[in-house]
Structure 1
């Protein structure tokens, strides 16, 4: 009786690294950029008065003083540019904040930056320093930066600015500045009238001059965010592991906080406190690109810019003769998102 000789199976070939995740992320980022371009074009074409492709092209390439040319060049184009810039700033700031605090619910208001800007605007209105959009930008910017570095200084006492320390200190500073702001506006009706138009969060009436004033701060903040991306990837492994790999925890936290402060200050100063945009951009980017901050930050930048442009466009379309402010539209969208995040996932990243 013959026995069959077992034959050895051929060894499986080693896995080949194709780089597909990077290709997919690159393709996703390009798609998001295309969506942003389409949203930008839609913002120029639609509003209380719709413009066809021919009228829109004429307004962009020639300027003979016709009504469509004035609408596009003087009104829609400047506010759309501001919306893209501020959306990028707040989207990146929210992503950085979620990474540094390891809190899925973190967004720019948690560090007291918005409260610092609001308090400065109210104080400026009462003292007569704020008389135009341009002066509002500078006053709000100073208040936001002072609040940012104040939070960092308070949180870094002792063993350094830990995620929990930053969040708690920012919440305490925001509560204190919010109470002071309320006290001032309740005691002065004229200040309240000026403050309530800024506090709703809007790109209406913002021109290219406003974008130019906050652009240097936004540029520095974005550069620091890109520098901070790799450090955030290491910090996600835990402070002890990151320190063991040679990362300076204090320097990484400081760079991240300065970037968050500059980006949020630029956004709040130009358009007022726009809530939930950082939360929205960070979570959507994380669903698309995963946990790598080198991809998250560019993705959140494009998503944030697109979201604010679309929110402004929706506000113009549903407002009838007037318009619903972009901050209100994002609040309506962001509040359900906030509830979903709380219910479906843990707070810690």
Structure 2
């Protein structure tokens, strides 16, 4: 079992994340054991497990922390996240995820689609078994809708060189930020936290998710495929334009348009020119400025959390600062 090394300094949390992965794995029961094993390998492929980690951390702000329930809810959130990754890989025709061959490459797209759908069911089974409130089920359903709307919004803006920053933010608010927000909310609320406090936790999670996705998109322009575990600038060929490129387009659309109109026929040389152009026209710098805005918003809100004996607030602050200022 692989737990990301970033949790080495937090042994209790690392142990709970290991239990989360165990529960996720034991919840998978498919007739085709090869597919089952491939899904489990994806669970254990070294992802950062940020969403379940935040859920577990924010559970400390409830009045009656229930570790078993929190681990189950964390497993539900990461299972849901994995389902969206499988569907992302189908749309992107990705061959590798975190160094592991994707389901749609190892088998076919039909198997991958049904595997992703199956994980949605696993997620809701865990929620139905362990949540105390119908509100949490409703919120999870609403969050799923926002995630899917974010994905659809991204598809609707494919190959559009006039996509705006506001449209990008709207898309990632659903696609990425919503699961962070829900994880923070459920951790607090399902462990007896007040509605007001849980709502504040949700806002923290949303800001973290927005900053995280922007930083992730920036890394496409500053890291290699080996470093980040996926092909760099592959999204551009698929017509998905992230914040650095959008900001650069605002500065000099004429530079990029002759290349971008080639769509999925772009060459490696084309992507190299785009990469250099995004840096030259300040796309990365402007994207960092917006990432810094959401990062600071998250950190300021975290500082407003109540103190507790375990000093969880400081732990959340330190982890958030670490992941939102990361370079890989």
What TM-score, normalized to structure 2?
0.26
Larger radius of gyration: 1
Structure ranking higher on relative contact order (CA contacts 8 Å, 6+ apart): 1
What TM-score, normalized to structure 1?
0.25
